[in-house]
Amino acid sequence: MNQAVFLDRDGVLNRAIVRDSKSYPPRSVDDLEILPGVAEACGVLHQAGFLLIVVTNQPDVARGTQRKEVVEAINRVLAERLPLDEIRVCYHDDDDHCTCRKPQPGLLVQAARDWDIDLPTSFVVGDRWKDIEAGQRAGCRTVFLECGDHTEIEPDHPDHRVSSLIEAAGWISQHRLQPGEKNGRKDNEVHS
């Protein structure tokens, strides 16, 4: 089975646009700014054998404030510049009650089926509680990226907290389990 690192997009790979203490995705390819260290972090994880799958909520499409073509263009640029295996998008809003909108785990579960991914030995890296909860519901280990750019509900018990994706890549590399290995150990019990 494969192992994956599921990555949120806005705030993890690229800079989120912050207005009135709320973060928003870039409005266009021109607004897209890949965060410092992201390419290096993705390279480290990819070389370690992890699949890199982006899982992102883009509800502005359902809300009519963004076009699907623009989201796809931004995703194409990210895929050209970073060693990503796939980008999966939920275009729904909360009122749609879909199974793919984080905190629901649908994007991760479907990717696991399609890529033969062992979820208990995989990781989710996100900057919002919804990312962490989706990872927990899917049975993955979770890494919360504390960016400090916006006010957000605190996630409930992520496995680890970091301030950058490169820091997350280092922690993930040190705490990798093999498929079938038990995931119940605490951070201080895991040794490289």
Could you read off the pLDDT of 5-61 as tens digits, one per residue? 999 999 999 999 888 777 889 999 999 999 999 999 999 999 999 999 999 999 999
Query: Which positions are annotated as active-site residues?
Result: 8, 10
What average pLDDT does range 141-160 have in this prediction?
A: 80
In this structure, are residues 130 and 102 in contact, taking their beta carbons and an 8 Å threshold? yes
Q: Please, which pLDDT band fits residue 130 given cuts at 50, 70 and 90?
A: very high
Residue 152: per-residue pLDDT: 65
Q: At the fourth CATH level, which superfamily is domain 4-178? A: HAD superfamily/HAD-like (3.40.50.1000)
Q: Are 15 and 71 in contact (CB under 8 A)?
A: no
Q: Report pLDDT for 23.
A: 82
Find, among 157, 170, 100, 87, the residue nearest to 129 by Cα: 157
Q: Catalogue the E-assigned strands of 106-166.
A: 123-126, 141-145, 160-162
Q: Where are the domains of the chain?
A: 4-178
Q: Which of 107, 101, 157, 154 is nearest to 127 (CA)?
A: 154
Q: Is the pLDDT of residue 187 over 70?
A: no
Q: Is the pLDDT of residue 185 over 90?
A: no
Burial class, 93, CB count within 10 angstroms (exposed 0-12 / middle 13-18 / buried 19+): middle
**Model pTM?**
0.90
Residue 183 confidence (pLDDT) above 80: no
